[in-house]
Amino acid sequence: MANADQREQMTKGAGFIAALDQSGGSTPKALALYGVDASDYNSEEEMFAEVQNMRARIILADDFTNAKVIAAILFERTLGESIDGKSVADYLWSEKNVVPFLKIDKGLENEANGVQLMKPIPGLAGTLAKATGVFGTKERSVINEANAEGIAAVVAQQFDVAREVVAAGMVPIVEPEVNIHSATKSEAEAILKAEILKNLDTLDEGQDIMLKLTIPNEANLYDALADHPRVMRVVALSGGYSTEQACDLLSQNGKMIASFSRALTEGLSKQMSDAEFNTALGSNIDKIYQASI
């Protein structure tokens, strides 16, 4: 599982994490933005083949290396796919020196107390055991309101899953996303910070995690989390912001790096020539990299 070189890169590497973990629910929207309409595929298999082709095109691009991209998050189905005869996870590390992570959550429960908890994750132990070559995981919840009870439940659930991931020898990315459209975003972020700090203090030495958080309204709000001895890295999600907005806001937070999905693929199209595609992707990568360093 985790090796020393990958740990060093995730702890100190300059760059950002590419979120390439579009799942069944988010894939149609991602493909539509990429210029692939629902009428272009006739089954779920064909849909996933289209998004895998998109992911492979991104990974194969010249600028997609650890010079600026230190890690990538994959969807579970992607573990069974290959690029140039190698599993995607193996290709990322062996050919690009990009550390692979795996999205393990199964989506969100209906909202209660202003939040959406993760759905149960059946067979998690087996999934982790089969995740050959994967350094860590990513698991997402959503906070829509500054509800202290709801936020406490989100963080408690996240840390329960994180402990199981750590026990399997992997590093979890805990992702309690705060909705960027929340009317009480600032208040929710203050509550979230306090809850995370409280839970971090329950971890033992060696139980290291990463945090993936919405870029806060108050710049550098999460510095105390980044400085905690159990936190390997604090990364930012783009949360629906455009690439320009996300990069501008991120650049104001000195101890966060990016972990962007839509902002990374913004402006890319299946219809582009390889030269056009690589130029557009390279521009996005450079913007996100500069904001992360």
Catalytic residue among 96, 185, 212, 287: 212
- What is the identity of the amino acid at 196? I
Q: Specify the 3-state DSSP secondary structure of 144.
A: coil
Structure tokens at 20: 């390439």
Told to judge if 218 belongs to the known catalytic residues of this protein, a careful annotator would answer no
Neighbours of 125 (CB within 10 A): 11
95 included as an active-site residue: no
Phi-psi region of 259 (alpha: psi -120 to 50; beta: other; left: phi over 0): beta
Distance between CA 212 and CA 174 in Å, rounded? 6
**Which residue in the list 50, 81, 139, 175 is annotated as catalytic?**
175
Q: Checking DSSP bridges between strand 257-260 and strand 16-20, what pairing results, if any? A: parallel
What is the phi/psi pair of residue 142, to 5°?
-135, 135
Give the C-alpha distances (Å, rounded to integers) separating 4 from 89, 96, 135: 17, 17, 10
Residues sharing a CB contact under 8 Å with residue 12, sequence separation 6 or more, in sequence order = none
Q: Where are the beta strands (DSSP E) in the chain?
A: 16-20, 69-74, 82-83, 86-87, 99-103, 115-116, 136-143, 171-178, 209-214, 231-237, 257-260
**Which amino acids are annotated catalytic?**
175, 212
